[in-house]
Amino acid sequence: MAFEYLKALHIIFVVTWFAGLFYIVRIFIYQVEAMERPEEEQKILLPQLNLMAQRLWYIITWPSAVLTLIFGIAVLYYRWGYMQLGFMHAKLAFVLFLYVYHIICDKIYKDLQKGKPKWTSTQLRIWNEVATVLLFAIVFLIVLKSMMSMVWGIVGLIGLSLLMMLGIKWYKKVRESK
């Protein structure tokens, strides 16, 4: 019974972590775009966006990342036999990439809070899709438990990524034409 509670908590914090990661990068985009606005608008937009980013990052996203890790280790402890299977190694590699993504987002967050953007809004839009690709990889691996399915999934993810990049470029053209 304890395993089911641990697994449920792990899934809940994975969901809240991803929600935070998806939304924080959107806020980054808004912050960068606000910095390009006239000074009067910046005075209104930036304090609010900085506050939103701070609350999201430190109240939802970071705690969710930590709790995901704690409950993930607990679930893995109960299912240690999975460590003998290749899909779990691949899944954990993608999870490691997700934590690297999180750390890079932390650096972006700190730069933006100082008012020193190092990424353009277009770069951040593309960066936002990295979390989507990682989510697909992790979920398909844990549900299908198959390396071959993962290979086909990765091929599909590459295709999805290319479609997302085309969509981003198309959206940028639409926004610039208005």
Known binding positions: 10, 91
Q: Are 96 and 52 in contact (CB under 8 A)?
A: no
Q: Are 168 and 122 in contact (CB under 8 A)?
A: yes
Binding residues for heme: 10, 91
Q: Are 158 and 130 in contact (CB under 8 A)?
A: no
Rounded (5°) CA angle 59-12-56: 20
Q: What is residue 119's DSSP assignment? A: S
